[in-house]
Amino acid sequence: MIEFRFGIGDLATTSFAYSPLQEAVFSLRCLHDPARYPHHRPWLRRIRPRLAALDHEMLTALSAPWLWVPDFLTPRPSRARPSVTDELALLRRTPPDVVAADFRATYRTADALPEVVARGLTDPRALLERVVDALEGYWHTCLADAWWPRAQAVLEADLAHRGRVLAEQGPGAMLSGLDDRLSWDDGRLRLSTRHFMIPAPWTDVVGIAGRGMVLLPTLFARGAQPTIDPSRPPVLAYPARGRATLSEQPPPVTDDALGRLLGRPRARLLLLLAEPASTTELAHRLGVTPGAISQHLTVLYDAGLLTRTRAGRRVHYARTPLGDDLCR
């Protein structure tokens, strides 16, 4: 059990963010144990041929067999929606001694270090450059174009949901609702470590102590998890809602009456919007242009079948109760 203690004012500095770099690093867990991440199998099948052209040896070494990753690879975001360019630039500035210490903490013993890491630790600065170059190539080859727009839409929808829970039920319900491993009681957020793959190295009690906590939804975790080093600024990654939608194919219009009423494109959109989604995500899922999707969404919204919520530059659509009734 890990206990995060919140003092007076700590809840006021607790915030949400998502990190493209974190998602890139956590996605490497699939290379070790794809069976744990069934929602990502279609994506993994598509990218496997491309991995041969990348620094596969280094990429595989960034996640231990028990799925821990070095803390320096996932720096705490300083804003809610950092760009991967800014995060990679920050990663390049990691002190070499931190690189070495974090790899050793992740692999626990010197004998467990992959050969590429063990060799690299003789020159941590050069090792860091190779790590960042490998991640940058991986991002642009396997994630940026086809995968990230859909993943980002899921993360945005999760943040919108957590905001609603916070507004309607308060911070206790919001925090304990992030994952079944978490519970909230009298200023203490407790994380059960019972289902961790190996015994956790963390201390039992971590004080927020005015440092603020950042909560990060992720598509590559089966439960909430902190950083390995409890002295780092508090961060808690938790499983994002709706991550199963990444493996979905666009649903057919199964009710001919719904198709005749709305037209097949709008009927299919309405069926897809059981969970909030953006115009960009819907366009990727249906293989059409965002402009075409936007026209249909406007008609469905004007008819009272959809709601829309703005998050930064994105607008997320979801079905209204009337829309739900039509889909039944």
Same domain flag for 69 and 89? yes
Find where tokens 């996640």 sit: 63
Is residue 59 domain-shared with residue 157, that is, in the same domain?
no
| Beta-ladder partners of 157 | none
Q: In percent, how much of the chain has pLDDT > 90?
A: 46
HEC per residue, 59-113: HHHCCCCCCCCCHHHCCCCCCCCCCHHHHHHHHHCCCHHHHHHHHHHHHCCHHHC
Three-class secondary structure of residue 313 per DSSP: coil
Say whether both 235 and 157 belong to one domain: yes
pLDDT by 10s per residue, the chain, length 328: 889 999 889 999 999 999 999 999 999 998 888 888 888 888 888 888 888 899 999 999 999 988 899 999 999 999 999 999 999 999 999 999 999 999 999 999 999 999 999 999 999 999 999 999 999 999 999 999 878 988 888 898 899 889 889 999 999 999 999 999 999 998 899 988 776 756 666 667 888 989 999 999 999 988 899 998 888 999 999 999 888 777 665 555 555 667 777 888 888 888 888 878 888 888 877 778 888 888 899 888 888 888 888 776 778 888 888 888 888 7
Examine the domain organization and report whether 259 and 224 are in the same domain: no
* Cβ–Cβ under 8 Å, residues 233 and 289: no
Q: Is 142 found in the same domain as 25?
A: yes
Q: How far apart are CA 299 and CA 304, in angstroms?
A: 9
- 253 and 211 together in one domain: no
Residues 28 and 7 in one domain: no
Domains: count for the chain: 3
Q: What is the pLDDT of residues 249-302, one digit of tens each?
A: 555 555 566 777 788 888 888 888 887 888 888 887 777 888 888 889 988 888
Sheet of 2-5, strands arranged across = 182-185, 188-191, 2-5, 205-207
pTM: 0.76
User: How many C-beta atoms lie closer than 10 Å to residue 194's C-beta?
Assistant: 8
Is 10:210 a contact under the CB 8 Å cutoff?
yes
Q: What is the CATH number of the domain that holds 295?
A: 1.10.10.10
Q: Can you count the helices (H) and strands (E) in the chain?
A: 15, 11
Q: Which residue segment(s) compose the domain that 137 sits in? A: 20-148
Domain boundary among 148, 169, 190: 148
Quick one: 193 and 231 in the same domain? yes
In this structure, the answer to whether residues 203 and 283 fall within a common structural domain is no
For residues 24 and 143, membership in a common domain is answered with yes
Do 198 and 296 belong to one domain? no
Let me know whether 238 and 297 are in one domain. no
| Final residue in a domain of this structure, among 206, 221, 244 | 244
Considering 97, 130, 148, which residue would you say is the last residue of a domain? 148
